């Protein structure tokens, strides 16, 4: 009987171990299934682009813009107030047809905030790269909060049928959107202070290893050497002044925009857009774009 009892106990422990392992496996699979991806944002961007091509830029932009959406025209303005008075172009017109498609995208751990970027073309001629920040609304619809871009040669990039690359999720958040914004404000203050002395060197402590930089007239800087060359071309020093932005509910994703100026370079001016992501214990810039003032495009 003692042997039978021991065997029964052994069998019971085996079953318990199997049950615990199965529960852990199912929990892990459920967590993986719940992990957000940028796929819905890519879908929203593609629908936005298709609608713009079919109905016209004004109608599609107003349809998908958040109430406080910001667009660069060339500097930041309220999108709805700027677009509403413009004339309605005839749908299907053969001139000035704008098209764009996502090639890189990211999302917050909370799944409600993210971005896409990729080439844009006018009448089939590639002319630069767009950048859009998207936020999921309470009703489940996606609205864009910021639209900006730079003119650049995008001929070598993949076409509209290509699949975009997804940025990895942030490691953790700061607890809340407000906490994340406060953290990033401190980081941006440090960056601005350093950039006033050494612009290229200022980014060394803040850029992620896979950061992407966009500047007027240049292809996206993705590799380390490309980023270094682009930062060196931005000038010796610069001044950055924040204007606004937003954060994710998870506190792991923050976007910002503001003014940029080069006091030592004949008063050159422009604007910046950045995306910050919480990685391990540090906030890192994963996207940084400089949009020049009109007279700097000549």
- Host domain of residue 68: 39-166
216 and 128 in a common domain? no
For the chain, what is the domain count?
2
CA distance 287 to 276: 7
Threshold 0.95, pTM exceeds = no
119 and 203 in a common domain? no
Banded model confidence at residue 8, pLDDT cuts 50, 70, 90: low
Which of 166, 197, 229 terminates a domain? The answer is 166
Residue 86 has pLDDT above 70, yes or no: yes
183 and 144 in a common domain? no
191 and 136 in a common domain? no
Query: Mean pLDDT across the stretch 226-237?
Result: 95
**Tokens found for residue 54:** 């079919």
> For residue 177, with 0-12 CB atoms within 10 Å meaning exposed, 13-18 middle and 19 or more buried, which class applies?
buried
pLDDT score for 42 = 98
Reduce the DSSP state of residue 51 to 3 states and report it: helix
183 and 118 in a common domain? no
Residue 109 has pLDDT above 70, yes or no: yes
Query: Mean pLDDT across the stretch 12-23?
Result: 47
Helical H segments across 113-172, by residue range: none
185 and 158 in a common domain? no
pLDDT score for 265 = 72
Is residue 142 situated within a structural domain? yes
The 10s digit of each residue's pLDDT in 69-78 is 999 998 999 9
Residue 30 has pLDDT above 50, yes or no: no
181 and 127 in a common domain? no
CA distance 164 to 9: 54
Q: Are strands 113-122 and 65-72 parallel, antiparallel or unpaired?
A: unpaired
Contact (Cβ atoms closer than 8 angstroms) between residue 173 and residue 182: no
188 and 82 in a common domain? no
Which of 123, 144, 166 terminates a domain? The answer is 166
CATH number reported for the structural domain that contains residue 158 in this entry: 3.10.450.50
Q: Which of 116, 93, 92 is nearest to 41 (CA)?
A: 116
Residue 166 has pLDDT above 90, yes or no: yes
The 10s digit of each residue's pLDDT in 250-298 is 999 999 999 999 987 777 899 999 999 999 879 999 999 999 998 744 4
The pLDDT > 70 percentage for the chain reads 85
């Amino acid at each position: 009987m003692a042997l039978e009892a021991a065997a029964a106990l052994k069998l019971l422990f085996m079953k318990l171990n199997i049950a615990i392992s199965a529960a852990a496996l199912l929990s892990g699979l459920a967590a993986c299934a719940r992990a957000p991806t940028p796929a819905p944002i890519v879908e929203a961007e593609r629908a936005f682009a298709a609608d713009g091509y079919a109905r016209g830029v004004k109608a599609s932009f107003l349809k998908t813009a958040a109430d406080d959406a910001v667009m660069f025209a060339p500097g930041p303005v309220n999108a709805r107030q700027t677009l509403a008075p413009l004339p309605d172009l005839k749908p299907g017109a053969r001139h000035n047809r704008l098209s764009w498609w996502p090639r890189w995208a990211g999302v917050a751990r909370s799944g409600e905030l993210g971005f896409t970027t990729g080439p844009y073309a006018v009448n089939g001629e590639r002319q630069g790269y767009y950048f859009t920040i998207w936020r999921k609304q309470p009703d489940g619809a996606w609205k864009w909060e910021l639209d900006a871009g730079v003119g650049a040669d995008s001929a070598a990039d993949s076409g509209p049928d290509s699949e975009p690359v997804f940025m990895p999720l942030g490691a953790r958040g700061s607890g809340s959107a407000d906490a994340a914004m406060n953290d990033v404000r401190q980081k941006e203050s440090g960056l601005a202070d350093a950039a006033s002395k050494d612009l290229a060197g200022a980014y060394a402590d803040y850029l992620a290893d896979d950061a992407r930089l966009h500047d007027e007239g240049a292809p996206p800087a993705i590799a380390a050497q490309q980023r270094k060359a682009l930062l060196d071309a931005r000038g010796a020093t610069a001044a950055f002044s924040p204007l606004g932005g937003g954060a994710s509910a998870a506190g792991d994703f923050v976007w910002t925009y503001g003014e940029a100026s080069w006091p030592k370079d004949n008063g050159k001016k422009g604007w910046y857009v950045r995306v910050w992501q919480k990685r391990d214990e540090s906030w890192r810039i994963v996207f940084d774009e400089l949009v020049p003032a009109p007279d700097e495009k000549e």
